[in-house]
Amino acid sequence: MESVLAVKNLSIDFLTPTGSVHALRDVNLSIAQKRIVGIVGESGSGKSTVVSAVMRLLANNASVHSGEIEFEGRNILAMKEQELRALRGEEIAMVFQDPMTAQTPVRSIGQQMMDIQYRRSLSRKEKRENAIEMLNRVGIPDSMDRFDQYPHQFSGGMRQRISIAMALMMNPKLLIADEPTTALDVTLEAQIIHLFRELRKSFDGSIIVVSHNLGLIAELCDEVVVMYAGEVVERALVDDIFYRAAHPYTQALLNCDPARLGELTQELPTIPGDVPDLQEVPTGCIFASRCDQITDICTSVRPPTVTVNSAQDVRCHLAANA
Amino acid sequence: MWAYFIKRLGLSIAIIAVAMSILFVITHMIPGDPVSIALGPRATVEMKEEYRARMGIDLPVYVQYGRFVSSVLRGDLGQDVFSGLSVLDIVRRQLPHTVILVGVAIGWSATLGIILGCLSAVRRNSTLDRVIGVITVGAIAIPSFVVSLYALLLFAVTLKVLPALGAGESGDIVDQLKHLVLPGFALGLGWVGYISRLVRASMLEIMGENFIRAARAYGLPERTIVARYALKIAIVPTVTLLGVGIGNMLSGALFAEIVFSRPGIGKLIYDMVLMRNYPVVQGAVLVTTALFVVSALIADMINSALDPRVRGSL
Amino acid sequence: MSAAAFKSSPREQPRFATYRRFLREPLGIFGLVIVVVLVLGAVFAPYLTDYAPNTINIKARLASPSGEHWLGADHLGRDTFTRVLYGSRVALKVAAWSISLALFGGLLLGMLSGYGPRWLDNLLILIFDAVRSFPTIMFALAIITLTGPSLNMVILVIVITSIPVYARIVRAQTMALRESESILAARSIGTGWFRMLYLHILPNVIGPLLILASMDIPVVVTIESGLSFLGLGVRPPTASWGTILADGYAYVRNTPWLLVAGGVPLILITLGFTFMGETLRDIFDPTLRRRDSA
């Protein structure tokens, strides 16, 4: 089954005045049709960089060192601006982290939603109806009246729903949600999770959810990709990740979850050490300096990616030598 | 939006009222006989007597103030003691010339300034950007009356391509336009510089915002993004600048009118100052000030139409 | 204008850091050089030229630049270069007096407005806005009609129209500081309002204000030149860049040199202070905004 999105050996550097930051190194992942895949990792793990690369919305100082990103077989990295624009919004759409800055303040949300439909030759009335229907689907009350209101007249939770509506309006094949609930409080987060679940019934595209929130990933995703400091360290189905995590980082991450406090220890557990400086990438395993199951080979040889069971990959010597 | 307008209107009226009062007060703050001071050494005794009676100089100050305010409200800005004409009429006859000049100057400088600013922002750090940057710094550095003088020197006297003086034959539009070129250019040159730099800075700031990135993610064409999403916001500081800068431009127009011998409020005030004819000066300054306050109000209302977030604040 | 901008002000950094940072900006240095040259020219004027500014010499009437008259001579044969030098004295005198007085008044009224009771603030703002609504030159002309032209009147008018601008800026900063933690802490131990203003608010307000004031110098000099050009500033035969321009205008068909000599110093002083001021501002607080200049 051809995957909707396939990231192959992607390496990206950021050029800074003090040197190159190797933000992504040899990243592989694939998204199949109608699947929800979560990318989880802490700040600096590269998860946002990966999805920005898919949309080709990286910062100016980013440079793709090697690798490919294939969307339905076509290499996104080789596309010209024209082709990309045809892709964005239509086939791949993105929901951003901060709802308060995601819509332009000087046009009503109705106008913005109609702007997105510019490629279709529809009448104004039809565009308006499409937009209102979409607003209804994401749960905006009084959508016909509020159609002409401006973004600042909506609350954060509403604006995130509007972002989702705008992303789904053209019925894309792939939806990327970059930290969709990070800027929202827990109640709003629960509402958005509920919304995603509802939408899933009617939306037949694939979804990528990027987050550092394990709980969100557990609620929504079918598969999980765990990233650390620019590398993919583990990929598995959601149950496998939570119950049978193979990589020491994933295990440590699960242990750090404050929701499980009291169950395991009385103190808030952390992972000792710091994320390494990506201008000087250390030899060996990227997690070696903080790993509690470290072996001799870990600091000298970069671990290969090993398949542990039918749908689970790990980049770790422990798994390789098992 | 209407509530905002009413508030701003009220404020503008209050400001004009205070400005009026200031003009009234200064005549009484100078030591000496207010009548002689106001009318200068050329006034005859009869003129002074008439002025004294009209203004009620012998009456208590607050009565004079009351008379002054009520007459202004009625539209009566007093009489020119020398010619007997109503000040309002004198001013009204000169006002259109100045308004045309300022209008032309704003028109061309704002248009060119916005275009250059957008170009600079979109092609940041390119050669074009740097060249525009240098030109704008140069344009800002020359005071507007010096530009008038140099324009006169270069185009009218040395090269003789454009007329030097006057407003042109009335009824002959082409001639009048020719006479507008140099003063309009001189008045607007500095503004092209300011506006271009301001638009560039605003655009750069906005293009870095999240919602622009989101708009790109929705696949919107760059032209739509620049024009409908970014520029609309970037214009706001420029509109404010123009609204506040009209006061400056009116001062500049005064010099342009004098250097190029054009009729207008500026020339009127200058001629009256030389004659020490205070009543006309006062009336003209009052009208000009009211004009300025009104333009600032209009600028604010334009901004609130452009950016709906403005409507809440005062 | 946030109070946070003050916490990281260079006053807390080692002294030399700011100077060294300044020296790395070529435009800033260029501006500084121009300013220094102008100031030195003004101060040492008598030593830089053999002529006196008002000496009439009909034989040299409207001479073009030459070895004898570096910038030529005007319609009365007076050496233009000398008059430009002495004119810079007038310019600097006006700048010094008017800006210091305006700063003083602006600081006072601005702090009062920002820190004092609401009604006072509203009243002062109304007055500030009203004064600012007069186009500067026209206001000057109104006053001069009554008092007659003189350099002191020019200074007075500039002070009156400048105070509202400075006061507004001081007011904004004072109001921002009022809510900052250091001020609240001082108030909680009962510091009186005078000490508050003098010891806590003033030092934080004055830095950026001085930079703004330095960028205001060319504006002020331009106003003086403009008024003198109209014959409503310095009395003849005193030399001022404005009067040189006026002579240049009167004799524009005879020689361009008077106009050049009168205008170029104005342009240079604008460039100089603007570059210097903008460089300083970028070092100290990039969030400052320029006020509109004439």
**pTM of the model as a whole:** 0.79
| Residue C236: per-residue pLDDT | 76
Spatial CA neighbour of C248 closest among C233, C232, C219, C228:
C228
Spatial CA neighbour of A164 closest among A201, A117, A222, A203:
A203
Query: Which pLDDT tens digit goes with each residue over B1-10?
Result: 678 888 888 8
Contacts of A173 in chain B (CB under 8 A): none
| Residue B312: per-residue pLDDT | 55
- Please give the mean pLDDT across all residues of chain B: 84
| Residue C293: per-residue pLDDT | 30
* B4's tokens: 């905002």
- Is the pLDDT confidence value at C1 over 50? no
- Is the pLDDT confidence value at C10 over 60? no
B15 SS3 class: helix
Q: At C79, phi and psi to the nearest 5?
A: -70, 125
Contact flag C130-B247 (C-beta cutoff 8 Å): no
Q: Do chains A and B touch (3 or more CB pairs under 8 A)?
A: yes
* A126's tokens: 């039809």
Q: In angstroms, rounded to a whole number, what is the distance separating the alpha carbons of residues C188 and A213?
A: 42
- Is the pLDDT confidence value at C5 over 90? no
CATH class of A3-91+172-261+270-320: alpha beta
| Residue C291: per-residue pLDDT | 35
pLDDT level of residue B314 (50, 70, 90 thresholds): very low
| DSSP category for residue A322 | -
Q: In angstroms, rounded to a whole number, what is the distance separating the alpha carbons of residues A18 and A11?
A: 19
H or E element, residue A162: helix A156-168
For the CA atoms of A296, A300, A305, A306, the dihedral, rounded to the nearest 10 degrees, stands at -30
| Residue A225: per-residue pLDDT | 94
Residue C175 lies in a domain: yes
The total number of structural domains that make up chain C: 1
pLDDT level of residue C289 (50, 70, 90 thresholds): very low
Give the residue from A48, A51, A101, A106 with the most B CB atoms within 10 Å of its CB, the best one to mutate.
Answer: A106
Q: Give the percent of chain C with pLDDT over 70.
A: 89
Show the domain range for C260: 15-293
Name, of A60-64, B109-113, C199-203, the range with top average pLDDT.
B109-113
Residue C235 lies in a domain: yes
User: HSE-up of B208 (CA within 13 Å, CB side)?
Assistant: 8
Which range, of A91-95, B176-180, C12-16, C230-234, averages the lowest pLDDT? C12-16
Residue C117 lies in a domain: yes
Q: At C149, phi and psi to the nearest 5?
A: -75, 140
- Is the pLDDT confidence value at C287 over 60? no
| Residue C163: per-residue pLDDT | 93
Give the residue from C27, C146, C292 with the most B CB atoms within 10 Å of its CB, the best one to mutate.
Answer: C146
Query: Which pLDDT tens digit goes with each residue over B86-99?
Result: 888 888 888 999 99
Query: Which pLDDT tens digit goes with each residue over C153-194?
Result: 889 999 999 999 999 888 888 888 877 777 778 778 877 777
Residue C151 lies in a domain: yes
| Residue C6: per-residue pLDDT | 41
Spatial CA neighbour of B81 closest among B41, B51, B49, B53:
B51
Residue C5 lies in a domain: no
| Residue C194: per-residue pLDDT | 74
Query: Could you tell me if residue A246 is left (phi over 0), alpha (psi between -120 and 50 degrees) or otherwise beta?
Result: alpha
Residue C100 lies in a domain: yes
Query: Which pLDDT tens digit goes with each residue over C206-264?
Result: 877 888 888 889 999 999 999 999 988 888 788 899 999 999 999 888 888 889 988 99
B83 contacts: CB under 8 Å, gap ≥ 6: B90
User: HSE-up of B76 (CA within 13 Å, CB side)?
Assistant: 10
Contacts of B26 in chain C (CB under 8 A): 142-143, 146
Alpha helix stretches (DSSP H) within chain C: 4-7, 15-23, 26-43, 45-48, 80-115, 118-132, 136-147, 151-178, 181-188, 193-195, 202-229, 241-250, 257-284
Spatial CA neighbour of A170 closest among A271, A93, A64:
A93
Distance between C178 CA and the closest CA of chain B, angstroms: 21
Give the residue from B206, B209, B213, B218 with the most A CB atoms within 10 Å of its CB, the best one to mutate.
Answer: B218
CATH code of residue C115: 1.10.3720.10
Q: In angstroms, rounded to a whole number, what is the distance separating the alpha carbons of residues C161 and C28?
A: 28
Contact flag A94-B214 (C-beta cutoff 8 Å): yes
Averages of pLDDT over each 10 residues, chain A, 322 residues: 86 90 92 92 88 90 91 90 88 92 90 90 90 91 90 91 92 92 88 88 90 87 92 92 88 77 66 84 87 86 87 87 74
Residue C115 lies in a domain: yes
Contacts of B266 in chain C (CB under 8 A): 138
- Please give the mean pLDDT across all residues of chain C: 82
Residue C1 lies in a domain: no
In this complex, which of A88, A106, A116 lies closest to B233 when CB atoms are compared?
A106
* A27's tokens: 């990243």
Average pLDDT over residues B209-237: 87
